[in-house]
Amino acid sequence: MSGSSIQTAKSFTLLIVDDDERARDFLQNTFESAQHQVKVAADAPTALRLLHREPCDLILLDIELPGIDGLALCRLLRAQEATRRLPIIVISAHDDEERKVSAFAAGADDFIVKPATRRELLSRVGTQIEAAQRERALVGSNRELGFLADLGRGLLVALEPLQVVRRVAGATYEAANAALCAAMLELPQPGDGEQARAEGGTTSAVTLSEAAACVFDREGSAEGGALIDQTKLRRWLATDPATSGRLEDPAEFFLRDEAHRIEYVAPLRFEGRALGALVVAFDRAEDCGETESRLIDAAAQQAALAARISSLYEAARSSSASLAKEVERRTAEAEAQRRFTEAIIDTLPVSLYAVDRNHRIVAWNRNRELGGQGIPRGEALGRNIFDVLTRQRRDILEREFGRAFETGRMERIEQESIAPDGTAKHWLVSKVPMRVGGDEVSHVITVGEDITTRVEANRAVARTEKLAAVGRLAAGVVHEINNPLATIAACAEALETRVAEGAFGQSTEIEDLREYLSLIRSEAFRCKTITNGLLDFSRNRAGQHAPVELGEVLEAAARLLRHQKRSRNVEIVVDATDVAAVSGDAGQLQQAVIILAENAIDAMPQGGTLLLRTRNEGAGVRVEVCDTGVGIPQENLARIFDPFFTTKEVGQGTGLGLAVCYGIVTEHGGRVAVDSVIGRGTTFTLVLPSLSEERLDGGRVS
Ligand code: ADP
Ligand code: MG
């Protein structure tokens, strides 16, 4: 931008070009007496020299000049960049139209006919000067506006502090036609390595630890903050308020440069805080006019806004980085928590799934994937339960879920299913309502528990009880019938003896008598065989013999007992080390153990410990059933194995348990022993021959 800034002062510089000395003097006198500067030239070359040396505000040009005439000079001035807009008023002694037209065609702004009055001259010159000033101002503000718009656009994409200082320093350097231009910005986070990153390319701009700075030097290349006296600049920024202004004393300069004469410094101020500064150096005082000052101030304002945005951007970037880290950490934590919860529901020995109110499956554990009814999790999650459990009746399922959602009460349903291999499976299915964040049931969890073993064990118990009842009936009947039968047989035998002795003579009917008596005796014996068989049945229901692990038998018996109400207060302990197998019927052996264990539990109404233990013992395997119960009185010890011997109330005991147990053990070639201390407890010991031993013998150990 040129040094001819808008001048509001009335005084201006005038160049008068006229070869007529009188006319020149008159004109000079006229303007000088109106406080204007006047230069004079008698011909065109002199005028051009003067103009070249120093600019002026207006030319009064006579047409009739020696050599190059006024119109030629006018055209020349219009052709040159420096004088293209210089107001030119042509003066002539001739008032003809031809001359006026050619003068305007040559580029004159006005035409004055000599002689003119002082008033007219002053008025017409004044008008031209004002018009020229207005035009210059317009051109100036257009350029300013253009510059600011360009700078604004540039700063819009400058997000990092270094980009901001570079753009604003570069643009101001160009637009203000400055010798040097520096911009500095204090960084919000000192020492942040990210912000020290240079832009690369031709720029050598670097950042100090606490500020972003850039200087455009005399060669027009960007360099780092080395030329700025940052300490001084900081001190100035700290003054309250740091306002923009011209510096003419080199002692006050912020830029370390010998040649410049003037500095203009403007703070980058935003919301009352000086964030940095723009320092522009000029070699001549007149280069830094009002236009330059205004432009630098405007650039500083824009830069301050951009700097604020860039610091917000930096803050947002670093906080978003730490936010991302935090999100990542929490996500990992939540993921670990989720996996842990999933592991729990996968580890539970139940099959489990959950649906929301729209019957959409939201959880599906591993056990639900296994078995004949199993469905892979991937095929279930997110889908409608009725589309997945197609083998179940939809209306029943719908009612079950409906009840759980409506009543909020847990429901248990026992179900039986037949596995593909034909075996029956028993399930205890529970519908558990769940409330997530509210009073309303939001989900229903369905838990399926495989209770096949429990159901079968209960059935085995029922079977045992039934057998015991049959045994009792049989034993009772046998007990009642055997004695009369023995009497009948004995009587028949006695009569037969009497007949043989001839007690009834030799009548022909004797033969009949002998025959009937023989019939009675054989039939009585036949009855006895039947009742003995019945008794055998009641005691020994021989099953298939196979290798049996007594440890497993004890475990199974314990599991069964733990499910029973009566064992509530009793701690059941199994101690089964690695023992030899025995040959036998696992079911019967388990029944024998259960009989002993149930008696033991009955003997501990206040609770206690039941120990089921097995050990190798010589050629056999020993099983001990120990309790901490009431004990058995000495006088009863001999009778406890008798059928129908019981000390329990009517309906509580049958007196057949130990008899059956005894029958089973003896059937297996084993033996039973009992050891009891009143008030301390009882131990029943079974010894069964081990499998290898039985083989060696080729039969049972007696
Ligand atoms: P029940 O149990 O029906 O009485 P059992 O033959 O099983 O028939 O037992 C006969 C009796 O032996 C019992 O009534 C009880 O008096 C006694 N008895 C058996 N085992 C024990 C035990 N562990 N402790 C104390 N008394 C026992
Ligand atoms: Mg019993």
Residues 590-615 have pLDDT tens digits of: 889 998 999 999 999 999 999 999 99
- Whether 368 and 361 have beta carbons less than 8 Å apart is answered as no
Nearest atom in ligand 1 to the alpha carbon of residue 656 is 6
Residue 109 banded pLDDT, cuts 50, 70, 90:
very high
Is residue 8 situated within a structural domain? no
The ligand whose atoms approach the alpha carbon of 640 most closely is 1
- Could you give the angle at the alpha carbon of 410 between the alpha carbons of 404 and 411, nearest 5°? 85
Query: At 94, which CATH number?
Result: 3.40.50.2300
Distant-in-sequence contacts of 651-657, Cβ < 8 A, 24+ apart: 653/602, 654/468, 654/469, 654/472, 656/468, 656/471, 656/472, 656/475, 656/538, 657/468, 657/595, 657/598, 657/599
Cα of 654 vs centre of ligand 1, distance in Å, is: 9
The ligand whose atoms approach the alpha carbon of 632 most closely is 1
Burial class (CB in 10 A: 0-12, 13-18, 19+), 459: exposed
Residue 397 banded pLDDT, cuts 50, 70, 90:
very high
Is residue 611 situated within a structural domain? yes
Is the same domain home to 651 and 531? no
Burial class (CB in 10 A: 0-12, 13-18, 19+), 438: exposed
Residue 564 banded pLDDT, cuts 50, 70, 90:
confident
Q: Residue 220 half-sphere exposure, CB side, CA atoms within 13 Å?
A: 5
Q: Which tokens is 279 given?
A: 């320092």
Q: What is the pLDDT of residues 406-446, one digit of tens each?
A: 999 999 988 887 666 656 688 899 999 999 888 899 999 99
Residue 308 banded pLDDT, cuts 50, 70, 90:
confident
Which of 541, 568, 596 delimits the end of a domain?
A: 541
State residue 151 phi and psi, 5-degree precision: -60, -45
Average pLDDT for 493-507: 85
CA distance 626 to 635: 20
Is residue 125 situated within a structural domain? no
What is the residue with the minimal CA distance to atom 23 of ligand 1? 600
Q: Which tokens is 64 given?
A: 């009739």
Cα of 468 vs centre of ligand 1, distance in Å, is: 14
End-to-end CA distance of the chain: 130
Cα of 647 vs centre of ligand 1, distance in Å, is: 7
Burial class (CB in 10 A: 0-12, 13-18, 19+), 606: exposed
Average pLDDT for 513-524: 86
By 3-state DSSP, what share of the chain in percent is helix, strand and coil, each rounded to 5? Answer: 50, 20, 30
Nearest atom in ligand 1 to the alpha carbon of residue 658 is 6
Is the same domain home to 238 and 332? yes
Is the same domain home to 205 and 230? yes
3-state secondary structure of 112: strand
Q: What is the dihedral of CA 90, 94, 99, 101, to 10 degrees?
A: 70
Is residue 595 situated within a structural domain? yes
Number of domains making up the chain: 5
Is the same domain home to 456 and 496? yes
Q: Report pLDDT for 464.
A: 58
Query: At 474, which CATH number?
Result: 1.10.287
Cα of 628 vs centre of ligand 1, distance in Å, is: 14
Is the same domain home to 402 and 478? no
- Whether 84 and 131 have beta carbons less than 8 Å apart is answered as no
Cα of 657 vs centre of ligand 2, distance in Å, is: 4
Q: Report pLDDT for 643.
A: 66
What is the residue with the minimal CA distance to atom 4 of ligand 1? 646
* Parallel, antiparallel or unpaired: strands 424-434 and 443-450: antiparallel
Task: Write the DSSP string, 634-657.
Answer: HHHHTTTTSTT---SPBTTB-S-H
Query: At 689, which CATH number?
Result: 3.30.565.10
Extract the runs of DSSP E, i.e. beta strands, from 534-606. 546-548, 570-576, 582-584
Which of 541, 557, 592 delimits the end of a domain?
A: 541
What is the residue with the minimal CA distance to atom 20 of ligand 1? 599
Which residues, including other chains, have CB under 8 Å from residue 641's CB and lie 6 or more apart? 658, 659, 662, 672
CA distance 495 to 204: 143
Note the pTM of the prediction, 2 decimals. 0.37
Is the same domain home to 218 and 313? yes
Which residues have their alpha-adjacent CB atom under 5 A from ion ligand 2? 599, 657
Average pLDDT for 534-545: 60
Per the model's pLDDT, the better-predicted residue between 447 and 535 turns out to be: 447
Is residue 598 situated within a structural domain? yes
Is residue 343 situated within a structural domain? yes
What is the residue with the minimal CA distance to atom 12 of ligand 1? 640
CA distance 612 to 294: 104
**Which domain range does residue 505 map to?**
451-541
Cα of 659 vs centre of ligand 1, distance in Å, is: 10
Is the same domain home to 632 and 668? yes
Cα of 685 vs centre of ligand 1, distance in Å, is: 14
Average pLDDT for 558-581: 89
Residue with tokens 């991302």: 324
Residue 479 banded pLDDT, cuts 50, 70, 90:
confident
User: Which of 284-288, 291-295, 403-407 reaches the highest mean pLDDT?
Assistant: 403-407
The helix (run of H) or strand (run of E) holding residue 530 is helix 510-539
Nearest atom in ligand 1 to the alpha carbon of residue 647 is 14
- Whether 15 and 56 have beta carbons less than 8 Å apart is answered as yes
Residue 31 banded pLDDT, cuts 50, 70, 90:
very high
Q: Which of 658, 662, 682 to mutate to test the pocket of ligand 1 (most atoms within 8 A of CB)?
A: 658
Q: Report pLDDT for 5.
A: 37
Residue 578 banded pLDDT, cuts 50, 70, 90:
confident
Is the same domain home to 65 and 158? no
Cα of 221 vs centre of ligand 1, distance in Å, is: 112
Which of 347, 367, 387 delimits the end of a domain?
A: 347
Q: Which neighbouring-strand residues pair with 609?
A: 571
Is the same domain home to 156 and 304? yes
Is residue 130 situated within a structural domain? no
Q: What is the pLDDT of residues 368-396, one digit of tens each?
A: 998 777 899 999 999 999 999 988 889 99
Is the same domain home to 227 and 105? no
Q: Report pLDDT for 271.
A: 81
Query: At 243, which CATH number?
Result: 3.30.450.40
Rg of the chain over CA atoms, in angstroms? Answer: 62
CA distance 172 to 268: 14
CA distance 65 to 76: 14
Cα of 474 vs centre of ligand 2, distance in Å, is: 17
What is the residue with the minimal CA distance to atom 2 of ligand 1? 653
Distances (CA, A) of 457 to 52, 464, 610: 123, 10, 19
Is residue 604 situated within a structural domain? yes
Is the same domain home to 256 and 168? yes
Which residues form the pocket of ligand 1, taking CB atoms under 6 Å from any ligand atom? 599-600, 603, 627, 629-630, 632, 640, 645-648, 653-655, 657-659, 682
Is the same domain home to 63 and 164? no
Residue 111 banded pLDDT, cuts 50, 70, 90:
very high
Average pLDDT for 231-239: 88
Q: Report pLDDT for 315.
A: 80
Per the model's pLDDT, the better-predicted residue between 160 and 653 turns out to be: 160
**pLDDT at 199 > cutoff 50:** no
Q: Report pLDDT for 530.
A: 60
